[in-house]
Amino acid sequence: MRHNHIFDVLRVFDDGAGIYAVGAQGDAYIYGNRIHDIINGNGIQFDAGTRDLIVENNLIFRVAKKGVMANMGYERVVRNNIFVDAGIAMITLRQIGHYPGETVVHFENNIYYFTTDSALIGRGGNQTLYQMNTVFDWNLYHAAQGQPCIVDGGSFSNWQASGRDTNSMTNVAPVFADEANDDFTLLNAEEIDNLISFEHWDQSLHGPQKMDAPDAAFAITRFSSSTDGEGFDLTWRSIPGFIYEIWYSPGTLDNWQKLEGHSIMSDFSHTSVTVPKPNESPAFYRIQLRDP
């Protein structure tokens, strides 16, 4: 799940998040998303049993509850993200280690910046954070008003003394381009990179992107000869009300051309079209969402 812009959600329900995961994810990757103004929920939530998940290069700010809510589960990695302000806590963990053989949840190389008095790391359930199977290190935590970083109701120094976040920093402020207008581009990215190995990314990539045909293609779910034998039938998953174009590349994958006369307005969740057989062999086809 990448390059989404998610905001102004959970106005009615309060059990959820901008991105919510539950159960086995099959090596899922949550990457490059901009998540903010979550009215009654969390930024990202791993619910019970979530496993095999990497969260990277996301910007999460102004959420009502927690930046990340992690429930019991297996092998989750949260790295190289920016979190700004959460109503309850930047991170809340619950029952990490509940399942037999449960592996750790990792929080590494992230920036946490808060202007409010919310906790840094909180917990749910009967376990303390110190009893949970977690890895925290090489993070930057900074309170803009100098307020203390509270972990499980205690001090950050006690948290570090437990062997977590031993290489993390609290005394360096991230400098954002225009925080008041939600531009969290890092102006001191090189300094922070040297401290916690944070790799800054281009935040203009958040949200839908205009791409060339090879990179913006929709998966063709069915490819077959047409009933008259004169062409090919292509079928793909689609969004009703959107217009799709057919692109092809003769011979190789580096000569993409739009197939004129084959712009299709989708009416259903799957769309099919018949295209003529090309003169070249082989030929490759792609489906692209038309530019607005």
| Tens digit of each residue's pLDDT (9 = 90 or more) over 38-62 | 998 999 998 877 878 899 999 999 9
- Confidence (pTM): 0.71
Give me the amino acid identity at 171: N
Residue 209: predicted pLDDT: 57
Q: Which pLDDT belongs to residue 197?
A: 94
In whole angstroms, what is the distance from residue 122 CA to residue 120 CA? Answer: 7
Q: Point out the residues of the chain with pLDDT beneath 50.
A: 211-216
Residue-level pLDDT at 100: 60
* Torsion region of 192: left, alpha or beta (phi above 0 gives left; psi -120 to 50 gives alpha): alpha
Confidence at residue 141, expressed as pLDDT on a 0 to 100 scale: 94
Round to whole Å and give the CA distance between 56 and 33.
Answer: 9
Contact 68, 90 (CB under 8 A): yes
Q: What is the C-alpha to C-alpha distance for residues 287 and 234, in angstroms, rounded to an integer?
A: 9
pLDDT of residue 214: 43
Distances (CA, A) of 145 to 31, 112, 135, 148: 30, 14, 27, 9
CA-to-CA distance for 92 and 64, rounded, in angstroms?
A: 13
pLDDT of residue 215: 47
* Residue recorded with tokens 């799709």: 244
**In this predicted model, what pLDDT tens digit does every residue of 201-250 receive, in sequence order?**
888 877 765 544 444 456 676 777 777 878 888 888 777 788 888 888 88
Alpha helices in the chain (DSSP H): 156-161, 189-196
User: In this predicted structure, what is the pLDDT of residue 291?
Assistant: 61
Residue that has been written with the tokens 């402020």 in this structure = 173
CATH topology of domain 213-289: Immunoglobulin-like (2.60.40)
pLDDT for position 267: 77
How far, in Å, CA of 186 to CA of 192, rounded?
9
